[in-house]
Amino acid sequence: MADLGRKKDPPLILRRDIYQSNPLMQARKVFDTLGMRIFSLGLRGLNPHLSMNDKMYDEKFPELFIPTSTLVNLFGGNTKYLHDLKPACKRLFDTIIELDKDNGGFVLMHLFSRLKYEPNEGLYLKFDESMRPYLLDLFNSKGYTKISIDQVFYLTSPYSWRLVELMLQYQNMSEFQISQDIVREINIENLRFYLNVPKDAYVGRLDNFRKFVLDDPIAEINAKTIYRMSYKVIKQGRRVTGFEFHMNTFAVPVEDERLVYINSAIKKLRELGFSLAAAKDIFSACIDEDDCLKRISKAQKILQKQKITVENELGFLRKAIVENWSSMPKRYSKTKVSKTAEITTPSKIFENNRKRKEELDPLGIMQPTRRELSVEIQEIIIEMLGDSKNKKFADSMLKSVGWTLKEFKEKFLKNTKK
């Protein structure tokens, strides 16, 4: 097994969403705020098996690494957290996850098999194998819950965090799909268990329970997230037995490619002409957004310094970014390539063609000479045709290089369908 402390270990790729099995969602988690955040960072590095269509997923827990700089940034740029990291990791390492079973039994598990911090490197972590059915093998589990980490990461109360998790567990139920208003009833006994409220806390003091366990945390949720939560008291006679929670998710954006542009590195790669899949793949080779943007900048400068044109510029850039070139490696320096040095993206190709056509044919009489379409341009056109708003633009782009929309569909879309 590889040493977690070695710098060559794979970096943690921070994903936007985290996943947990529903049984784990309802387990008792003895977390403080810092422990919740470290746990969530670990989840962001996992690629669980979610459906039968998944082709790539983690078959076992990877050894994860969070660079110190990324750790500080993710904790709001406050280096104070690094002083609290050791005691927080000790508490987290000793944490036991408690699951109650339907038959009256229970399961006790540890979260991590190892946590290690190197000041000049970062935090290394690996989940305990007992967590595999609850964090990796989700396709075979009793359902799972997806959480947007951006919405909960900066909540300061573990009660706030857990309340959002418990409500999102119901987000895919059919009765809540249209209204986008999640409703869930939880009795007091179960709520104390889910939120890990100490057994002797607020006993006989429902007013304090409501203030510190519900009212204050819900106020934080409404202030810091896009969710809007409220609750009603459930009574049997005069006795309070539970609560009916409501959480509106109407403001949650629909998940589409535009959300990827929250990641500035992937946005930059898309602007250079890479497909979304290729951009994500390239980003996965980098440590974080800043690291990826620096690699992109270096790769562009190396390409611009070439005295002869690189025929496959996207391929050149991809290799330079993934391998993190500082200069042109000797093994590539003798490669035969053809003349100039300007970076040519698909958008520039079309823009140059348009300007050239206006200069040579101001009246629009001449027919453009057909050009061969690279794989990258084919992918971009196909993506545009899938969006009704971009169909006209795709048509004009094709015409600028001598293609009709009908010809493009016959040659490329039929092959794609096959």
Contact by Cβ (8 Å): 201, 207: no
Q: How far apart are CA 67 and CA 37, in angstroms?
A: 15
Identify the CATH assignment for 155-252 out of 1.20.120.80, 1.20.1560.10, 1.10.10.10, 3.30.830.10. Answer: 1.10.10.10
Q: Which residues touch 392 (CB under 8 Å, ≥6 apart)?
A: none
Give the bridge partners for 114, in sequence order.
126
Q: Is the dihedral of CA 371, 374, 376, 381 positive or negative?
A: positive
| Other CB atoms within 10 A of residue 117 CB | 17
Q: What residue ranges do the domains of the chain occupy?
A: 1-150, 155-252, 256-344, 352-418
User: DSSP characters for 6-33?
Assistant: -TTSPPP---SEEEEEHHHHTSB----H
pLDDT tens series, the chain, 418 aa: 333 333 344 444 456 688 898 888 888 888 888 888 888 888 888 888 888 777 778 888 988 887 887 777 666 667 776 777 888 888 888 888 888 877 888 889 889 999 999 888 888 999 999 999 999 988 877 788 888 887 888 788 999 999 999 998 888 776 665 567 889 999 999 999 999 898 888 877 888 999 999 999 999 998 888 888 999 999 998 899 999 999 987 655 444 343 344 467 777 887 787 777 778 778 878 877 778 889 999 998 888 887 776 777 888 888 889 888 888 766 555 444 433 334 444 455 455 545 544 444 444 434 444 556 666 677 777 777 777 766 776 776 676 566 788 888 888 776 544 4
Q: How far apart are CA 63 and CA 123, in angstroms?
A: 11
Contact by Cβ (8 Å): 277, 283: no
Contact by Cβ (8 Å): 276, 312: no
Q: What are the start-end ranges of the H helices in 62-205?
A: 68-74, 80-83, 85-94, 132-135, 149-152, 158-168, 174-177, 188-194
Tokens of 235: 């009574």
Q: What are the start-end ranges of the H helices in 361-417?
A: 375-385, 391-400, 405-408, 414-417
CATH topology agreement for domains 1-150 and 155-252: yes
Q: How far apart are CA 4 and CA 315, in angstroms?
A: 32
Only one residue has tokens 């009709």, namely 404
Strand positions, DSSP E, 70-127:
96-100, 106-110, 112-118, 122-127
The amino acid that residue 374 corresponds to is S
- Decide if domain 1-150 falls under CATH 1.10.10.10: yes
Q: What are phi and psi of 263, to 5 degrees?
A: -85, 105
Q: What are the start-end ranges of the H helices in 225-288?
A: 257-260, 264-271, 276-283
pLDDT of residue 1: 30
pLDDT of residue 63: 87
